[in-house]
């Protein structure tokens, strides 16, 4: 399909595809076949190769070691890396690192950028975003945030209990969402504070077991449960303006949702490619499976819906360049999450026993994609936002006409 991405976007995405085919996917296939995990030394080798090919950290400004692509221009590359279990990691475009880099680049001070952003981009340190809390704390309803930070002189004193903190096990620092003005509504009284992992009172309780938790790399960042018990950090560790935490998080999540969409659409595309190759070779009941009309129609439906998802993401990305595009992003994220899950499920079904086996990547994709309907906003949260928008500007004349029409139908029914 031709999506009319810019010449620059297509050129970089083409080179990312070559990098995957020549370097990353062969090692991934080997790891799947042997069960031998890919080491961090190998990942760092991918980074060096990506740098030589001018592909490293495409989303980061050049002054911090990235390629400086515009948001829309980097999306096709994110779709390409999604085709591999380690593709995003191989070019330093993996979540949550990518989102944290973007946050620091947007609102960090020059000192924060030099101390944290530059080494984060280069892979010298790792980070996590600590927002979600166990019940009854902040989750799908972030207004329920319980974590607090209180000023004591020139320090924040932080008390928080977080979980599902992606890459929290290996993080060198946490971008931590806490309430800093308890008298204000959480939307206007919450801040993001940078907390070093080695600060007194930071306790990584555990790595939470979860669906899709078994990868193929040696270092698994996972999703950690972390407690902050009277943790003291300088007030200057505030990211952006004090009490602007929700606005900053929304800026982070808007773009992050779309990059996730592209990575998962890449997963779905590769799953379909594997399934179609399998269907063309596997024979049953007198013909190859690709000749069975029921399967052909299901593949056609999957290709159509995946195409629609890609178009929605690109449209939302264009709108995001001009506004917050909250509804466009919500629609794209919710739709793409469901389309990619259905597509990968179909691919697994088409491959039968080979689909549930882990010699192929589909079973890994299948486990990973289920979380996408929950992370970055559950389906229900996005539907709530879309529904609220849909009913905001209802035309009163249309309501009156609808009521009169309904009344007329009831009168007609009585006459009969």
Parent domain of 362: 246-392
Please determine, for residue 17, whether its predicted confidence score (pLDDT) is greater than 80: yes
Asked, for residue 105, whether it belongs to a domain, the answer is no
pLDDT for res 414: 45
Residue-wise pLDDT for 310-364, tens only, equals 999 999 999 988 888 999 999 999 999 999 999 999 999 999 999 999 999 999 9
- Whether 413 has a pLDDT exceeding 50, the answer reads no
Residues 26 and 61 in one domain: yes
Tell me: do 252 and 360 sit in the same domain. yes
Q: Which of 50-64, 80-94, 104-118, 386-400 bottoms out in mean pLDDT, i.e. has the lowest?
A: 386-400
On whether residue 406 sits in a domain, the answer given is no
At residue 303, does pLDDT exceed 60? yes
Confidence class of residue 28 from pLDDT cuts 50, 70 and 90?
A: very high
What CATH number corresponds to the domain at position 354?
A: 1.20.140.10
In the structure, what pLDDT confidence band is assigned to residue 399 with cuts at 50, 70 and 90? Answer: low
Q: Based on the fold, state whether residues 251 and 388 are members of the same structural domain.
A: yes
pLDDT band at 404 (very low <50, low <70, confident <90, very high): low
**Does residue 109 fall inside a structural domain?**
no
| Domain co-membership, 250 together with 234 | no
Average pLDDT, the chain: 93
- The reported pLDDT for the residue numbered 397 is 67
Q: Is residue 114 part of a domain?
A: no
Q: Considering the domain boundaries, does residue 403 fall inside one?
A: no
Residues 292 and 363 reside in one and the same domain: yes
Pair (318, 344) in one structural domain = yes
Q: What is the pLDDT of residue 410?
A: 47
Instruction: Examine the domain organization and report whether 229 and 329 are in the same domain.
Output: no
Last residue of a domain, one of 241, 268, 283: 241
SS3 string, the chain, reads: CCCCCCHHHHHHHHHHHHHHHHHHHHHHHHHHHHCCCECHHHHHHHHHHHHHCCCCCCCCCHHHCCCCCCHHHHHHHHHHHCCCCCHHHHCCCCCCHHHHHHHHHHHCCHHHHHHHHHHHHHCCCCEEEECCCCCCCCCCCHHHCCCEEEEECCEEEEEEEEEEEECCCCCCEEEEEEECCCCCCHHHCEEEEEEECCCCCEEEEEECCCCCCCCCECCCCCEEEEEEEEEEEEHHHEECCCCEHHHHHHHHHHHHHHHHHHHHHHHHHHHHHHHHHHHHHCEECCEEHHHCHHHHHHHHHHHHHHHHHHHHHHHHHHHHCCCCCHHHHHHHHHHHHHHHHHHHHHHHHHHHHHHHCCCCCHHHHHHHHHHHHCCCCCHHHHHHHHHHHHHHCCCHHHHHHHHHHHHHHHHHHHHC
Checking if the pLDDT of 30 tops 80, the result is yes
**What CATH number is given to the structural domain containing 63?**
1.10.540.10
Mean pLDDT of the 69-88 span: 94
Regarding whether 179 and 205 lie in a shared domain, the answer is yes
- Give the end of a domain, one of 241, 274, 289: 241
pLDDT (tens digit per residue) in 227-279: 999 999 999 999 999 999 999 998 898 899 999 999 999 999 999 999 999 99
Say whether both 231 and 174 belong to one domain: yes
User: Given a cut of 70, is residue 416 above it in pLDDT?
Assistant: no
Confidence (pLDDT) at 322: 84
pTM of whole model > 0.85? yes
> What is the number of structural domains in the chain?
3
**What is the arithmetic mean of pLDDT over 8-32?**
96
- The answer as to whether 164 is a domain residue is yes
């Amino acid at each position: 399909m031709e999506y009319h991405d810019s010449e620059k976007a297509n050129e970089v995405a083409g080179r990312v595809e070559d990098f995957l085919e020549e370097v990353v996917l062969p090692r991934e296939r080997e790891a799947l076949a042997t069960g031998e995990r890919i080491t961090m030394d190998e990942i760092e080798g991918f980074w060096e190769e990506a740098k030589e090919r001018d592909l490293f950290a495409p989303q980061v400004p050049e002054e911090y070691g990235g390629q400086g692509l515009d948001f829309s221009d980097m999306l096709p590359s994110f779709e390409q890396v999604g085709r591999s279990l380690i593709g995003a990691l191989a070019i330093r475009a993996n979540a949550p690192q990518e989102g944290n880099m973007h946050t620091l680049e947007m609102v960090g001070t020059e000192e924060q950028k030099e101390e944290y952003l530059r080494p984060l981009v280069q892979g010298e340190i790792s980070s996590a975003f600590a927002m979600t809390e166990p019940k009854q704390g902040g989750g799908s309803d972030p207004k329920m945030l319980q974590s607090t930070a209180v000023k004591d002189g020139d320090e924040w004193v932080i008390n928080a209990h977080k979980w599902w903190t992606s890459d929290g096990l290996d993080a060198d620092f946490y971008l931590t969402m806490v309430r800093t003005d308890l008298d204000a509504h959480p939307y206007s009284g919450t801040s993001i504070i940078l907390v070093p992992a080695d600060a007194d009172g930071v306790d990584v309780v555990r790595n939470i077991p979860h669906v899709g938790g078994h990868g193929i790399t040696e270092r698994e960042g996972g999703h950690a449960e972390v407690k902050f018990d009277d943790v003291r950090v300088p007030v200057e560790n505030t990211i952006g303006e004090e009490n602007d935490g929700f606005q900053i998080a929304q800026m982070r999540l808007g773009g992050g949702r779309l990059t996730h969409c592209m990575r998962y659409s890449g997963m779905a595309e590769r799953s379909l490619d594997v399934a179609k190759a399998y269907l063309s070779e596997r024979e049953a009941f007198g013909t190859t499976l690709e000749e069975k009309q029921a399967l052909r129609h299901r593949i056609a439906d999957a290709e159509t819906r995946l195409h629609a998802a890609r178009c929605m993401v690109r449209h939302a990305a264009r709108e995001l360049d001009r506004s917050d595009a909250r509804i466009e992003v919500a629609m794209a994220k919710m739709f793409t999450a469901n389309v990619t899950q259905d597509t990968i499920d179909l691919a697994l079904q088409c491959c039968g026993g080979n689909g549930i086996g882990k010699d192929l990547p589909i079973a890994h994709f299948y486990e990973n994609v289920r979380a996408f309907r929950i992370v970055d906003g559950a389906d229900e949260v996005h539907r709530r936002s879309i529904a609220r928008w849909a009913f905001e500007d209802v035309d009163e004349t249309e309501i009156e006409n609808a009521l009169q029409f309904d009344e007329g139908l009831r009168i007609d029914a009585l006459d009969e």
